[in-house]
Amino acid sequence: AQSVTQLGSHVSVSEGALVLLRCNYSSSVPPYLFWYVQYPNQGLQLLLKYTSAATLVKGINGFEAEFKKSETSFHLTKPSAHMSDAAEYFCAVSDQNFGNEKLTFGTGTRLTIIP
């Protein structure tokens, strides 16, 4: 069974400051890992994904995440927050069951940007 824990349901950072959203996963097999973003009144948009290639993954809008197997973590970072980054962010895990992967989502972290 897989699971995802997102530490902190709400995170506030100042504009221009570092964004760090935490995600820890549990999986009995090598995982695929994802970060999705959801803006108000919209669906989920894929930010980035880890699929067992490079451990540092770069995504859209300047975000990146690093897969750390020893820490079972996949934290999302962005060096400098922008007002447009305000949204809800979801971490998700999937096992590498080719052709029938299922996403297991965390409960989300709402990111607020302080002007």
Amino acid at position 49, single letter: K
Min separation Cβ 76 and other proteins, Å: 17
86 part of the interface to other proteins, by CB under 8 A? no
101 lies in the binding site for other proteins (CB under 8 A): yes
Which span sits near other proteins by CB under 8 A: 15-23, 33-41, 57-65, 75-83?
Answer: 33-41
CA distance 16 to 95: 35
Give the gyration radius of the chain's Cα atoms: 14
Q: Annotate 55-85 with b (16+ C-beta within 10 A) or e (fewer).
A: eebebeeebbbebeeeeebbbbebeebeeeb
Residue 112 engages other proteins in binding (rule: CB under 8 A): no
Among 43, 53, 70, 84, binds other proteins (CB under 8 A): 43
Work out which of 55, 68, 102, 114 binds other proteins, going by CB under 8 A.
102
Residue among 33 and 81 whose Cβ is closer to other proteins: 33
Which whole-number Å values give the CA distances from 76 to 19, 28, 100, 101, 112, in the listed order?
8, 22, 26, 22, 15
Binding site for other proteins (CB under 8 A): 4, 9, 32, 34, 36, 41-46, 49, 51, 90, 92, 94, 98-108
